[in-house]
Structures are given as structure tokens and as C-alpha cells.
């Protein structure tokens, strides 16, 4: 009995961890529900603990309830940039949306499929395929229009441009092509070799050399110009006779000829003939130029031409510059009549750079040019009364304190002369002068010697008046009154026009 008691006490002691080792109870095995759902039970010596499975989390903390983690919401970058993240109980899945494919099997990472490369036939004729991230679309080539039905196949049909009125200008015959068109101009009209611009009238009679109207030195050049004009204005001419000189060659010839001829002009009438030929030539050459900007320079002459061939009339300021002159105008001025825009516009600045020789021939005792002379021309042929003036900045040939007069070469009446009408000086200092003119022509700065002489005359007259006044008071009063009257007349109004007779004999 005593022995049994001893054994019992021994067992109890062992049970309470004192003394000899006892066997641990595996709570996890004994009670499979001891941890909640989605958690794992871990046995420890004398105890156990619960831990949520991967993909689950004990959101409540103490309650030991393992709930699903929404991996897609917790980590935006868990899938690739374009992947779709799908949450699942205890897990998640990355999938590729349509238009993407998965090149990485371990962790989906979707990449765009380039449908245009994958299937070159995906868009129909006359359209181009444009890939986008996850998709693509078809766009019609210029001249075609998309049928509203289907952007995915790009059914593009030809736009019949010829249905648009006036696309080939007055009298032009429009020929429609698949996605394009061309204009056939009737005789006497041309589109200057650019068969998608409007036909405009071209009168070649003006390129007839006329004794008394054309300087002899220009004869061969003007004949060439006339041949080119005839070919341009007659589209029925057979191919072989349509060999034209290029615009660049014509321009070089014009500048070369001008360079030589302007040194030899003998009279105002010859200056008029020279300038008229130059302006007329430019009107034929400029529309044929293929470059946006063309510059040609010879010893004494410099040409700068800017051409625009936009579908719609160009707009905004335009500036042409050479070392002696700057022209500021706008494309609106160059275009003029917006309604009859022919499909091109140009601005020309032609500068007779070294005008010392011409200046000498112009030089009368009271007249002298203070700048280069420049011819300004634009595609708009109605330039006698511009809605917006052009500005010309002239560098003085020599710095001078004399107030220069802005002048243009006027050839309406008589042989021609420098005239100040329609031109005003808006700014002037010793080195340059800005002229603002409301018409186009050839411009220059004239030294105001005329006015200087006038004031000189005035002081001489006054000195005479004062000395005479000592003796003849009445006479001097009359004289000075006459003087003031005279000066007011000379300075007032628009009498800026100054006649020059060059070599008037
Ligand atoms: C224009 O293109 C379409 C489709 O390619 C073709 O069927 C049609 O004959 C062409 N028309 C002309 C005038 O070339
Ligand atoms: C129209 O002009 C273009 C470019 O100058 C040329 O390639 C084409 O052959 C011309 N078309 C016709 C019908 O003259
Ligand atoms: C155009 O050229 C043809 C062929 O050389 C000619 O018969 C016709 O008279 C010319 N037309 C004009 C207006 O010059
Ligand atoms: C223009 O003159 C220059 C210099 O004299 C010359 O080299 C050039 O060939 C000439 N151009 C033409 C088209 O006559
Ligand atoms: C241009 O000037 C140079 C030097 O003064 C001269 O040698 C040349 O012959 C001139 N060219 C022309 C085309 O007048
Ligand atoms: C010429 O001008 C047009 C705009 O009128 C522009 O699109 C084109 O790029 C220009 N060309 C060059 C060679 O500068
Ligand atoms: C010309 O100059 C005037 C005054 O300086 C200015 O108001 C005008 O805008 C200029 N015109 C052009 C075309 O630059
Ligand atoms: C020329 O232009 C002026 C001003 O822009 C306008 O009043 C006139 O009618 C035009 N003349 C012609 C012949 O187009």
C-alpha cells in the first residue's frame, strides 16, 4: 500500500515537470480544430501556436482568424504593367488581356502584341496600320476616306477631289486618280509645273522683246523667258518640246544679266526698263522655284526668294534680309486675294548691292542715294495699294546725320523718277532708316540734300534781309514774309516728290 502511494506521488511529480522528463502532449494532433480555418498549427513543448497559411492573414489579431489577403489590392505591382490581377482565396493570378501575350511562364508579364507586324494584311489597301498598346487601328492614306463601318479593317475609299469646285482653278480640267488628282490647264493657263495647284492665266506677250521697251542687253534673256512661258502655258505641247530651263538657271541668268546691265544704265528711262524687266521676270521665275528659300549673289546684285506651297494660304510675318536691307511683311500681303490663292505664294527681295555706280549715274548735284536700292515683289500682283504696309530697314552706305527720304522708283508718268509718295520714314538714326511703304516697287533712301539746300537758301535770304533791313525796313519785311510763305509751301502737304533729271540732255 505504501509502495503504491509512493509511485503515485512520483508520477504526479513527474507530471508537473519536476524531476524526471514527461511526454509532451501534441495539441495539434489531438485537436485538429484547435486553430481556425486557413491556419497551421505548430506544436511546442507543453504548448502550441497557430500561424496563417500563405495568402492568409490574421487581420483581427487576437481572434486568430485567418482571412484571405487580396494580393492585387495590397501590391499593385504584383503582376506586370499590363497584366490583369485576379485575387483568389489564399492566392492570386496574373492574366494577359486581349492584345497582349505572356512571354514569361513563371510570373505572367504581359507584352503588347504588335498586330500590324503580326498580320501585315490586317488593314486593307490604301490604309496604314498603326499599333497601339493592346490594340491597333487603320488609318487611310492621304486622298482616301475611311468607311464609317469598320476601323479594324480600314476600308478606305478614294476621295474624289475633283468634286470640289475650283480645285484646278479657272478652266482647269481635274483628273481624279486613286487617292490623288491632277489638273490639266487650258492653253494660256499654267500651274507652273505643279500639277496639283490651280491653273492661273499666263500671258506670254509681256515677255516679247520690244525695242524701246527692253534694254538690248536683256534681249536674249527675255527671249528665253518667253520660250519658257509659251511651254508653260501650252500643256498640249508634246513631251520633247517641253524641255524647260530650270527656275534656278533662269534666276541665275537674270541676276547675272542685271549685274552687268545696271552698271551701264544711262537715263531714267533705262532704269525704268531695267526694273520692269526684272519685276516681270521674277513673276515667272519665282513660282517655278522648288526650294523654300533661294539665294543668289553676284558682285553687285543679290536675290533672296521665299516660296510657300501650302494647301491653304500661308499666314504670319515674313522677313527677308541681306547685309544692307531687311524686308518685313506678312504672308497675307504676299497672298493678297485669299479667294484666288493659286496654291503658292512668294516674297522676293532683290538688292542692287553695290549701287555706287548706279548712284553716280543718278547723282545730280542735289540727289544722292544713301542706301542700296531694292526691288520687292510678292505673288500678289495687286500691290499698288497694300492693306498693310511693308517695312524696309536700310543700312546707310555711310553713317550720316542727314535726314534721308524714303523713295520708290515711280514710272507711271514720264521716264521714271524717285518719288516719296506712299513711303514714310518711321525711324531713322545715323546708321539706318526704317521705311514703311503701302505699295511695292523698287525702293531706296535718298539723301535730303534738297532740304539742306533749302535751309541754306533760307539763311542766305535772311542775311540779305537783315542787311537790307537796315536801309529798307519795309522791303525786308516783305522779303521775310515771302520767305516763310515759301518755306511752308515747300515743307507742307505731300510735296515730297522730287524730280530728278538724270543726264537730262
Ligand atoms: C482604285 O483602287 C481600287 C482598290 O485598290 C481598285 O479597285 C480601283 O480599280 C482603282 N481605281 C483606279 C481608277 O485606279
Ligand atoms: C504630276 O506631277 C508629279 C510630280 O511632279 C508627277 O510625278 C506626275 O507624273 C504628274 N502627273 C501628271 C499626270 O502629269
Ligand atoms: C500649243 O502647242 C500646239 C502644238 O505645238 C500648237 O498647235 C498650239 O497652237 C499651241 N497653242 C497655243 C495657245 O500656243
Ligand atoms: C553667272 O555668272 C557667274 C559668274 O560670272 C558664272 O559663273 C555663271 O556660270 C553664270 N551663270 C549663268 C547661268 O550664266
Ligand atoms: C566680280 O568681282 C571680281 C573681283 O572684283 C572679279 O574678278 C570678277 O570678274 C567679277 N565677276 C563678274 C561676273 O563681274
Ligand atoms: C518648306 O516649307 C514647308 C512649309 O511650307 C515645310 O513643311 C518644309 O519642311 C520646308 N522644306 C524645307 C526643305 O525646309
Ligand atoms: C512695320 O512697322 C510698323 C511700325 O513700326 C509696325 O506697326 C508694323 O507692324 C510693321 N509691319 C510689318 C509687316 O512688320
Ligand atoms: C487691289 O487691292 C485693293 C486693296 O486691297 C482693292 O481695293 C482693289 O480692289 C484691288 N484691285 C484689284 C484689281 O483686284
Max CA distance (Å), the chain: 179
- Which residue from 261, 299, 356 has its CB within 8 A of the most atoms of ligand 5, so it is best to mutate? 299
Backbone angles phi, psi at 489, to 5 degrees: -65, -40
**In terms of C-beta density within 10 A (0-12 exposed, 13-18 middle, 19 or more buried), how is residue 195 classed?**
middle
> Hey, whose CA ends up nearest to atom 11 of ligand 8?
382
Residues 6+ apart with CB under 8 A from 473: none
- Which residue from 338, 385, 389 has its CB within 8 A of the most atoms of ligand 8, so it is best to mutate? 385
Q: For residue 345, which of 318, 388, 317, 379 has the smallest C-alpha distance? A: 379
- The answer to whether the CB of 425 falls within 8 A of the CB of 406 is yes
Q: Scanning the structure block, which residue is given the C-alpha cell 540734300?
A: 449
Determine the distance separating the centroid of ligand 4 and the alpha carbon of 270, expressed in angstroms. Answer: 23
Reading the block at residue 116, the C-alpha cell is 500590324
At 478, is the secondary structure helix, strand, or coil? Answer: helix
Q: Give residue 253's pLDDT.
A: 92
Ligand 1 touching residue 31 (CB < 6 A): no
Determine the distance separating the centroid of ligand 3 and the alpha carbon of 235, expressed in angstroms. Answer: 8
Write the DSSP symbol of residue 367. B
Backbone angles phi, psi at 436, to 5 degrees: -120, 120
Backbone angles phi, psi at 26, to 5 degrees: -85, 95
Determine the distance separating the centroid of ligand 7 and the alpha carbon of 373, expressed in angstroms. Answer: 20
Dist. CA 214–CA 281, nearest whole Å = 12
Determine the distance separating the centroid of ligand 8 and the alpha carbon of 279, expressed in angstroms. Answer: 19
CA pseudo-torsion sign 474, 476, 477, 482:
positive
Write the DSSP symbol of residue 92. E
Ligand 5 touching residue 299 (CB < 6 A): yes
Determine the distance separating the centroid of ligand 6 and the alpha carbon of 326, expressed in angstroms. Answer: 22
Dist. CA 403–CA 397, nearest whole Å = 14
Can you tell me the mean pLDDT for 136-165?
Answer: 79
Q: Give residue 474's pLDDT.
A: 55
- For the domain bounded by 73-112, which CATH number is listed? 2.10.25.10
In 10 A of CB 400, how many CB atoms?
A: 16
H or E segment and range at residue 357: helix 356-362
> Hey, whose CA ends up nearest to atom 2 of ligand 1?
178
Dist. CA 311–CA 194, nearest whole Å = 12
Dist. CA 492–CA 152, nearest whole Å = 76
Closest ligand 6 atom to residue 314 Cα is 5
Which pLDDT tens digit goes with each residue over 383-401?
888 989 999 999 998 887 7
Closest ligand 4 atom to residue 249 Cα is 13
Reading the block at residue 388, the C-alpha cell is 498693310
Ligand 6 touching residue 310 (CB < 6 A): yes
Can you tell me the mean pLDDT for 96-115?
Answer: 79
Q: Give residue 413's pLDDT.
A: 78
Q: Give residue 149's pLDDT.
A: 60
Reading the block at residue 432, the C-alpha cell is 539706318
Output the pTM of the full model.
Answer: 0.70
Ligand 3 touching residue 380 (CB < 6 A): no
Dist. CA 314–CA 343, nearest whole Å = 10
Q: Scanning the structure block, which residue is given the C-alpha cell 551701264?
A: 264
Q: For residue 286, which of 369, 360, 376, 385 has the smallest C-alpha distance? A: 376
Dist. CA 502–CA 481, nearest whole Å = 34
**In terms of C-beta density within 10 A (0-12 exposed, 13-18 middle, 19 or more buried), how is residue 31 classed?**
exposed
> Hey, whose CA ends up nearest to atom 1 of ligand 4?
256
> Hey, whose CA ends up nearest to atom 5 of ligand 5?
299
pLDDT above 80 for 498: no
At 168, is the secondary structure helix, strand, or coil? Answer: coil
Write the DSSP symbol of residue 141. P
In 10 A of CB 78, how many CB atoms?
A: 15
- Which residue from 247, 251, 252 has its CB within 8 A of the most atoms of ligand 4, so it is best to mutate? 252
Delimit the domains of the chain by residue range.
73-112, 116-158, 266-453
pLDDT above 60 for 84: yes
- CA angle 375/380/386 to nearest 5° reads 75
Which pLDDT tens digit goes with each residue over 272-307?
888 999 999 999 999 999 899 999 999 888 999 999
> Hey, whose CA ends up nearest to atom 1 of ligand 6?
292
Determine the distance separating the centroid of ligand 4 and the alpha carbon of 216, expressed in angstroms. Answer: 19
Which pLDDT tens digit goes with each residue over 299-335?
888 999 999 999 899 999 999 998 889 999 999 999 9
Domains 116-158 and 266-453 share a fold: no
Give the residues across from 146 on adjacent strands: 156
Q: pLDDT grade, residue 179 (50/70/90)?
A: confident
Instruction: Label residue 55 left, alpha or beta by phi (over 0 means left) and psi (-120 to 50 means alpha).
Output: left
- For the domain bounded by 116-158, which CATH number is listed? 2.10.25.10
Can you tell me the mean pLDDT for 463-467?
Answer: 47
- The answer to whether the CB of 439 falls within 8 A of the CB of 424 is no
Was domain 266-453 assigned CATH 2.60.220.50? yes
H or E segment and range at residue 305: strand 301-308
Closest ligand 1 atom to residue 158 Cα is 1
Write the DSSP symbol of residue 263. T
Ligand 5 touching residue 63 (CB < 6 A): no
Which pLDDT tens digit goes with each residue over 422-464?
899 999 988 989 999 999 989 988 886 444 333 444 444 454 4
> Hey, whose CA ends up nearest to atom 2 of ligand 7?
391
Helix segments in 421-472, DSSP class H: 449-471
Amino acid at each position: 500500500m505504501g509502495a503504491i502511494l509512493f509511485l503515485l506521488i512520483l508520477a504526479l511529480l513527474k507530471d508537473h515537470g519536476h524531476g524526471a522528463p514527461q511526454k509532451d502532449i501534441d495539441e495539434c494532433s489531438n485537436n485538429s480544430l484547435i486553430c481556425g480555418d486557413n491556419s497551421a498549427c505548430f506544436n511546442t513543448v507543453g504548448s502550441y501556436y497557430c500561424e496563417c497559411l500563405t495568402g492568409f492573414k490574421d487581420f483581427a489579431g487576437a481572434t486568430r482568424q485567418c482571412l484571405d489577403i487580396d494580393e492585387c489590392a495590397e501590391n499593385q505591382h504584383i503582376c506586370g504593367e499590363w497584366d490583369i490581377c485576379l485575387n483568389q482565396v489564399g492566392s492570386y493570378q496574373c492574366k494577359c488581356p486581349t492584345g497582349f501575350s505572356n512571354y514569361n511562364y513563371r510570373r505572367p508579364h504581359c507584352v503588347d502584341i504588335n498586330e500590324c507586324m503580326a498580320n501585315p494584311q490586317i488593314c486593307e489597301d490604301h490604309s496604314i496600320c498603326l499599333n497601339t498598346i493592346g490594340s491597333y487601328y487603320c488609318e487611310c492614306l492621304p486622298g482616301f476616306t475611311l468607311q464609317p463601318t469598320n476601323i479594324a479593317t480600314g476600308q478606305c475609299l478614294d476621295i474624289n477631289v475633283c468634286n470640289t469646285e475650283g480645285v484646278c482653278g479657272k478652266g482647269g480640267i481635274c483628273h481624279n486618280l486613286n487617292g490623288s488628282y491632277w489638273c490639266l490647264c487650258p492653253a494660256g493657263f499654267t500651274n507652273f509645273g505643279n500639277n496639283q495647284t490651280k491653273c492661273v492665266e499666263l500671258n506670254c506677250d509681256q515677255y516679247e522683246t520690244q525695242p524701246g521697251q527692253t534694254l538690248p542687253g536683256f534681249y536674249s534673256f527675255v527671249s528665253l523667258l518667253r520660250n519658257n512661258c509659251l511651254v508653260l502655258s501650252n500643256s498640249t505641247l508634246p513631251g520633247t518640246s517641253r524641255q524647260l530651263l530650270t527656275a534656278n538657271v533662269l534666276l541665275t541668268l537674270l541676276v547675272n544679266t542685271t549685274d552687268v546691265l545696271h552698271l551701264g544704265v544711262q537715263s531714267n528711262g533705262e532704269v525704268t526698263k531695267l526694273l520692269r524687266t526684272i519685276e516681270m521676270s521674277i513673276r515667272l521665275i519665282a513660282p517655278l522655284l522648288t526650294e523654300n528659300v533661294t539665294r543668289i549673289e553676284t558682285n553687285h546684285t543679290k536675290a533672296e526668294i521665299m516660296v510657300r506651297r501650302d494647301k491653304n494660304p500661308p499666314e504670319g510675318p515674313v522677313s527677308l534680309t541681306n547685309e544692307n536691307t531687311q524686308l518685313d511683311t506678312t504672308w497675307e500681303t504676299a497672298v493678297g486675294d485669299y479667294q484666288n490663292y493659286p496654291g503658292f505664294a512668294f516674297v522676293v527681295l532683290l538688292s542692287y548691292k553695290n549701287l555706287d555706280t548706279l548712284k553716280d549715274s543718278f547723282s545730280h548735284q542735289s540727289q544722292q542715294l544713301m542706301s542700296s536700292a531694292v526691288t520687292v515683289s510678292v505673288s500678289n500682283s495687286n500691290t499698288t495699294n497694300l492693306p498693310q504696309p511693308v517695312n524696309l530697314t536700310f543700312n546707310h552706305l555711310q553713317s550720316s546725320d542727314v535726314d534721308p527720304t524714303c523713295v520708290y522708283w515711280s514710272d507711271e508718268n514720264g521716264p521714271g523718277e524717285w518719288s516719296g509718295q506712299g513711303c514714310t520714314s518711321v525711324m531713322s538714326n545715323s546708321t539706318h532708316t526704317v521705311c514703311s511703304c503701302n505699295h511695292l516697287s523698287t525702293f531706296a533712301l535718298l539723301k535730303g540734300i534738297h532740304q539742306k539746300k533749302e535751309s541754306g537758301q533760307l539763311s542766305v535770304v535772311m542775311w540779305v534781309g537783315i542787311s537790307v533791313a537796315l536801309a529798307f525796313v519795309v522791303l525786308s519785311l516783305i522779303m521775310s514774309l515771302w520767305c516763310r510763305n515759301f518755306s511752308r509751301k515747300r515743307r507742307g502737304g505731300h510735296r515730297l516728290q522730287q524730280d530728278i533729271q538724270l543726264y537730262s540732255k
